[in-house]
Amino acid sequence: MNLTLKIWRQKNTAAEGKMVTYQANDVLEDMSFLEMLDVVNEGLIAKGEDPIAFDSDCREGICGTCSMMISGVAHGAKGTTACQLHMRKFKDGDTITVEPWRAKAFPILKDLVTDRSAFDRIIQSGGFISVNTGGTPDGNALPIGKLDADKAMDAAACIGCGACVAACKNASAMLFVSAKVSHLATLPQGKPERDRRVLSMVKTMDAEGFGNCTVTGSCEAVCPKEISLDFIAQMNREYGNAILKNRAERKSSGD
């Protein structure tokens, strides 16, 4: 198939960007979206032009690196990443727009590459698990109910790609942060630091410039791992409980 691509090109963070049109010819329907971009880049390099910069790593839908808006949709389709989006989704003659994540907290580095280190700083602010397990424990040494185990696994599925932020009209990171908070708060190992963790991660999220959640559900709709909005509700409960405990402790100590 032959396609028209309108791709955002921007030399660096300080430069002004613009949409540039390219032709992608003889595209195979079994190619992934990134493989198609690879072919386009090979043509640009052959002509002595600067290739389109984009992030990729595993190309298996695991790492969350391939962050881009494809025709106005994060990753181009629900429940997938850009590297797992195949060209059979498109038709011959289609025009496809490709842009980077648009969020204050994700500054554009070049073309489709954004700086998502704000997510790393949020995770780092969550600290560590203080439970000393010694050597690797047996899988059944610490019994965890199936409902809790399944819930923790669902939250842990978050790959930190940033699609939730890109899709949200407020550029909120609540779905990402709530998945990280809920993952550990649900398990026994994460309970000792649960109050400090949620307070610190929410504080860092706000400091990084992410917007507030208005529960439109756009984040859940584009999440490649289909993380549920229920985790935002759980994080709000965790945060509220932590605030109340802190106030009670200060009151009892006379502060």
Q: What percent of the chain has pLDDT over 70?
A: 96
CA distance 19 to 7: 5
d(CA 239, CA 245): 10
Classified by CATH at the fold level, domain 3-110 comes out as: Ubiquitin-like (UB roll) (3.10.20)
- Please enumerate in sequence order all residues whose Cβ is within 8 A of that of 121, keeping only pairs 6 or more positions apart, or say none: 204, 208
| Residue 226 pLDDT exceeds 90 | yes
Phi and psi at residue 17, in whole multiples of 5°? -105, 170
Q: What are 182's two structure tokens?
A: 């809920």
Q: Which tens digit of pLDDT belongs to each residue from 171-204?
A: 999 999 999 999 999 998 889 899 999 999 999 9
Two structure tokens written together for 171 = 């550029």
**Per-residue pLDDT band at 223 (split at 50, 70, 90):** very high
Q: What angle do CA 174, 81, 203 make, to 5 degrees?
A: 20
pLDDT tens digits, residue range 8-48? Answer: 999 999 999 999 999 999 999 999 999 999 999 999 999 99
Q: Please give the pLDDT value at position 142.
A: 72
Delimiting residues of CATH 3.10.20.30 domain(s) in the chain: 3-110
Instruction: For residue 232, give both structure tokens.
Output: 């935002």
Quote the CATH superfamily of domain 117-253: Alpha-helical ferredoxin (1.10.1060.10)
Instruction: Give start-end residues of each CATH 1.10.1060.10 domain in the chain.
Output: 117-253
The whole-chain average pLDDT of the chain stands at: 94
pLDDT given for residue 255 in this prediction: 63
Grade residue 137 by pLDDT with cuts at 50, 70 and 90.
low
Q: Residue 143: its pLDDT value, please?
A: 79
